[in-house]
Amino acid sequence: MPGRKHAELALFVGPALVVYSMFVLLPIGLAFWYAMYRWNGIGPLTDFVGLDNYRRALQDPAFLGSIRHNAIIIVLSLTLQLPLALGLAVLLNARLRGRALLRTVVFAPFVLSEVITGVIWLLILQPDGLADRTLQAVGLGGLVQLWLADREIVLYTMFVVITWKYIGFAIILFLAGLQGIPRELAEAAEVDGASKPRVFRHITVPLLGPTIRVWAFLSIIGSLQLFDLIWIMTLGGPANASSTMATYMVDRGFRRYQFGYGSAVAVILFLISFGVSLAYQRLVLRRDTAGALTRMAG
Amino acid sequence: MSALARRATRPSAYALALAVAATVVVPVVYVVLGGFRTTGQVAAQPVALPDPWVFANYEEVLRSGSFWRQVGTSLLIALLATAATVALGAGAAFGLSRYAFRGREALFTYFTLGLLFPVGVGILPLYLLLRQLGLLDNPVGVALPEAAFGLPITIVVLRPFMRAIPGELEDAAAMDGCSRIGFFWRILLPLSAPALVTVSILAFVTSWNAYLLPLLVLNDPGGWTLPLGVANWSTQYTQDTSKILAFTALSMLPALLFFVLAERRIVGGLTGAVKG
């Protein structure tokens, strides 16, 4: 009964296919189209400008700065969050009293919304707020900065907040990975005279490899789409010092009604993300299994 | 670093653990306690216990219709989005796991494309699309795209799960006169319950916390979700810190409560979803 089979298939897969195509992929396609026009989002598309919007974006220092900010966040995540999360995961894997509670606590910020996280830190970091008071109380008053208003500092302040919010996820992932490593391995190495750091370096880290590589992928994609926290806390400011590609796009599109130009920015963001993802899948995740993507989430 | 586990280093391990816990807990406690102060008190002594305890801020938030309305809207949208994600995702995963047809793997890859780029990329055209469909200022206009965003991960999690259910079960059901649809409904879905719970929680939390899409779609303050309310409240009362603290503390509560109740599911689901 092939006819019936096809009808059933259409019934099961059809609705998802329609909704997904319409709300995820169609908008990307439309962005490619809108990007060729100068358009305020209202009325017909008539002012065809070809690739002009792309040229403008790639010549705008503010946009290039946004790309650089995304890149900085990625690099900082991989070089600072990764060792920190690994260390904390090892710590939480040790037999400590209150370990379960500690795990819950460390993971809690991950379920708080970006908006709530942003508002909390906005209050804590305001001049003479909790952060400044704490520093003064412990005799480090000289370190006090305009955390969110200093152009040189704001991006790094945001990185600290991002780390506070998301590191619990990395820790939980690494913990799950650590628990998959048989204790006998480390014990055998120690019997053979390997020091603890060497065991960590040569047994723990390599065996955590697949988990680390998947985390790094999610972290890169997350950093590329960074929006909510920044928008809540700084709107990308001051003077674009903390802007990301996504905040730049929303700013041009929705606050200045440059839908054509904003779409060109969207296309660039899409191409960068997609390119990075494909390259990562092919070059890094392929080592783990053939179907890296399905393995990643399945 | 694993030396931390050694007995000799125990005290330093505990000190480190305490420092980590404090880093997470202090900001949250600061907000909750701050809600019990006046703004003057927040400025004068932000750290100690409130003296005296002030209940006016929390009272005002709890009495304001907007807080409860926003909780209701958030709940409605999150439930709609979750129901749609799971219903559509389970159907698709079933079709893609238990039917043999040409182009099946290509179709699966098509669904997984959504994992390779941030879904927010298409937000400008998506907004225009929703405007054209008349879905602005409509909970469905938020919930339906959120369901679409959630489909790739949902299908990727559910498909291997459904695939692993033995074919003998399906044959036995067929012998007993059960149709494919009956098999899906009566046998496969109940057996997939753990995976369904995982994807439901993911979808719910994502929707509950969402900011950008509701921000663009819901313009009428009467239809705002809780994150929009928090963001707005914090800009509206910039001079009245204690009111922001109270509102923020109360809107944290549902998420934290949900987290404490479902922690094992959330953690297990997330690590399972990523690690496979």
Does A121 or A142 have the greater pLDDT score? A121
What's the pTM value of the predicted model, to 2 decimals?
Answer: 0.90
Smallest Cβ–Cβ distance between B118 and the set A26, A103, A224 belongs to: A224
pLDDT in tens, chain B (276 residues): 444 444 446 788 888 888 989 999 999 999 999 999 988 888 877 777 888 899 999 999 999 889 999 999 999 999 999 999 999 999 999 999 999 999 999 999 999 999 888 878 899 999 999 999 999 999 999 999 999 999 999 999 999 989 988 888 888 998 888 888 899 999 999 999 888 988 998 899 899 999 999 999 999 999 999 999 999 988 888 778 888 999 999 998 888 888 888 777 777 777 766 654
Whether residue A15 is contained in a domain is answered as: no
List, in sequence order, every residue forming a beta bridge with A48; answer none if it has no partner. Answer: A37
In this structure, are residues B192 and B94 in contact, taking their beta carbons and an 8 Å threshold? Answer: no
Whether residue A21 is contained in a domain is answered as: no
Inter-chain CB proximity A270 and B121 less than 8 Å:
yes
What does the pLDDT read at residue A1? Answer: 53
- Give the SS3 label for residue B171: helix
Residue A260 sits in a domain whose CATH number is: 1.10.3720.10
Instruction: Give the pLDDT band of residue A294 (cuts 50, 70, 90).
Output: very low
Per DSSP, B177 falls in state T
What does the pLDDT read at residue B130? Answer: 96
Inter-chain CB proximity B245 and A123 less than 8 Å:
yes
A-chain residues near B248 (CB < 8 A): 116, 119-120, 123
Return the structure tokens found at A91. Answer: 């710590």
Whether residue A14 is contained in a domain is answered as: no
B205: part of which helix (H) or strand (E)? helix B193-209
In this structure, are residues B39 and A127 in contact, taking their beta carbons and an 8 Å threshold? Answer: no
CA distance B245 to B232: 13
Smallest Cβ–Cβ distance between A23 and the set B17, B28, B148 belongs to: B148
Inter-chain CB proximity A111 and B125 less than 8 Å:
no
What does the pLDDT read at residue A95? Answer: 79
Per-residue pLDDT reduced to its tens digit, B172-186: 998 888 888 899 999
Percentage of chain A beyond pLDDT 90 is: 59
Residue A72: which domain range?
35-297
- A89 φ/ψ angles, rounded to the nearest 5 degrees: -65, -40
Q: Chain B contact for A206, CB < 8 A? A: no
What does the pLDDT read at residue A144? Answer: 87
**Residue B71 distance to chain A (closest CA, Å):** 14
Find, in chain B, the residue whose alpha carbon is nearest to that of A294.
Answer: B156
A-chain residues near B241 (CB < 8 A): 123
Inter-chain CB proximity A26 and B260 less than 8 Å:
no
What does the pLDDT read at residue A100? Answer: 84
- Give chain A's domain count: 1
Residues 6+ apart with CB under 8 A from A189: A198, A199, A202, A203
3-state secondary structure chain A: CHHHHHHHHHHHHHHHHHHHHHHHHHHHHHHHHHCCECCCCCCCCCCECCCHHHHHHHHCHHHHHHHHHHHHHHHHHHHHHHHHHHHHHHHHHCCCCCHHHHHHHHHHHHHCCHHHHHHHHHHHHCCCCHHHHHHHHCCCHHHCCCCCCCCCCHHHHHHHHHHHHHHHHHHHHHHHHHHCCCHHHHHHHHHCCCCHHHHHHHHHHHHHHHHHHHHHHHHHHHHHCCCHHHHHHCCCCCCCCCCCHHHHHHHHHHHCCCHHHHHHHHHHHHHHHHHHHHHHHHHCHHHCCCCHHHHHHC
Does A187 or A62 have the greater pLDDT score? A62
What does the pLDDT read at residue B3? Answer: 46
Whether residue A183 is contained in a domain is answered as: yes
Per-residue pLDDT reduced to its tens digit, A7-61: 999 999 999 999 999 999 999 999 999 999 999 888 888 899 989 999 999 999 9
Whether residue A147 is contained in a domain is answered as: yes
Q: Which residue type does B260 have?
A: V
Q: Which residue type does B90 have?
A: A
Pick the CATH number of B65-275 from 1.10.620.20, 1.10.287.90, 3.60.21.10, 1.10.3720.10: 1.10.3720.10
Whether residue A16 is contained in a domain is answered as: no
Whether residue A4 is contained in a domain is answered as: no
**Residue A194 distance to chain B (closest CA, Å):** 12
Instruction: Give the pLDDT band of residue A268 (cuts 50, 70, 90).
Output: very high
Window 110-129 of A: residues touching B by CB (8 A cutoff) are 111-116, 118-124, 128-129
| Interface predicted TM-score of the whole assembly (ipTM), two decimals | 0.89
Smallest Cβ–Cβ distance between B124 and the set A120, A214, A259 belongs to: A259
Inter-chain CB proximity A164 and B24 less than 8 Å:
yes
Instruction: Give the pLDDT band of residue A292 (cuts 50, 70, 90).
Output: very low
Work out the average pLDDT over A64-70.
97
**Sign of the torsion angle spanned by Cα atoms A116, A122, A128, A133:** positive
